[in-house]
Structure 1
Amino acid sequence: MHEWVRRGVGTVAVVLAIVSSAFATPQSLPQTILPGVGSTSWEIRNDGGTDGGPFAGVCDGSPAFGFDDATSASGAGDAYDGAWSVWINGNPFVAPGGLVDVTGTTLLAGPVAMSGLNVWLQYFFSTTHQAARILVILQNPSPVAANVTVQVPINFGSDSNTTVGHTSSGDTTVTTADRWVVTSDGGRATRSIPQSFMDQVLPRWSQQVIRRRCSTVLLETVSVRHSTFRCRARAPARSCFLPASAISPVRAIRLQEQ
């Protein structure tokens, strides 16, 4: 296991049809999504766990749903050594029975009962950009608020060569206040791809509070290249987190307590 980039996510309550949907035709993992943007591909597995929690230990093939790797449109690969798994109170989200719903380029797993919540994880892969959207849906069916810690580890394929060239705050130190960061596989930062956090909610590492009988969505987007930032994809491919509005029309709507 190489260095992990820690990501905290803020929350807003939303209404999503996902929580009431059923799988039309369950598909077995692993899955490789080919959205038709050059050679872009996304590899999704259910065995991305470690022997030391989300940010430590060694990848041991234990259950954990997430990205295994990604390849850019130009064919540059090794963007990840595992990424975008979701851990609730230290436990990984695992697709039940190793099955997911695949509709077009949208992949949905869940629900899974975790820490008193119903949890879904949805990946949407753009057919026009080298980008994916990650949605984590937390539904609290109980009459009392739930306090949980949500962790999203990202293990870059650049390994120990990963360097930070820029951040949204203007320095080279990554904090949860940064909305995007630019990393490089060594060398000049101009060769790197920026990683930008979602623009709907503020990233943070504090505990998430899901109000009673409410649902919360955690939203991220990721890309292996985006021309807005004037970056060049080079092997191994880098990943970048784009503002959610780049590919997602999702709007935040607060649920009323029932």
Structure 2
Amino acid sequence: MKRAIVLLTLSAMTLTSCGAKKKIAELEAKNKECQDMLNSATVKLNTCLAEKDVMAARIEDLKSSNNQLITTKDQITTLSSKGAENLEKTLESLKEKDLKITRLQDALTRKDSVTIALVTSIKRAVGVNDPDIQVNVEKGVVYISIADKLLFKSGSYQVSDRAKEILGKVAAIVKDKSEFECMVEGHTDNVPIKNPVLQDNWDLSVKRATSIVRILQNDFGIDPKRLVAAGRGEYVPLTGNDTAEGRATNRRTRILVLPKIDQFYDMIEKEMKGQGGK
């Protein structure tokens, strides 16, 4: 009987021991599965954390880039605004210069118109058909060139009666144009001259010029402040002095009718100031 009980007890203990081992094996398997899942989850978590750090760095880079773009945009906007302002000022300056140039050209055109009208009047008055009297314009100045034989005797600076008639016609026009000055130039050939009164052709050319200036002043009432006497001697010839005809051409007196330079530029300045005030 005792033996049977012992056998039953051993059998129960054996069965119980087998069940516990099976349960332990199942738990160990489950634990391993959980550990594997934990390891896998840990790896994924670490991967996510790493990706998070990368994304955070990218976000910071994007923020920095965005701030730089905003700053650049503001700078470009500022530069564009200043550039537009500078361009506008430059265009305005160019317009002002164009206006000044236009006004100056208008003033020069009016001056040329007056000069041409004066030439026409002088030609009509002195009789331009006379080959010994030439009237022309050079650089806005009216030149009346009178041959020596109409004014003086050879080697003399005494004005002839015929010359006074011609000078009277010129004086009438010059006197009427108060805004013009009158310069008288004496020219000679290169034949030397020397006597108790004249040392050389310089003397002769100057004395001829002063003789005509005195007539314009004393006989025809030209304001002496408007008159200039100049001698050029033999040094501004029109042609060669190697022939009698050439020397005769070079012996001449030129009367220059020209606007007063200071008045002319005053007119231009007034025109420009008047335009600037509009």
Q: Identify the structure with the greater helix proportion.
A: 2
Larger radius of gyration, structure 1 or 2?
Answer: 2
TM-score, reference length from structure 2:
0.22
Greater RCO, 1 or 2 (C-alpha within 8 Å, sep 6+):
1
TM-score by length of 1: 0.23
**Greater fraction of residues in strand:** 1
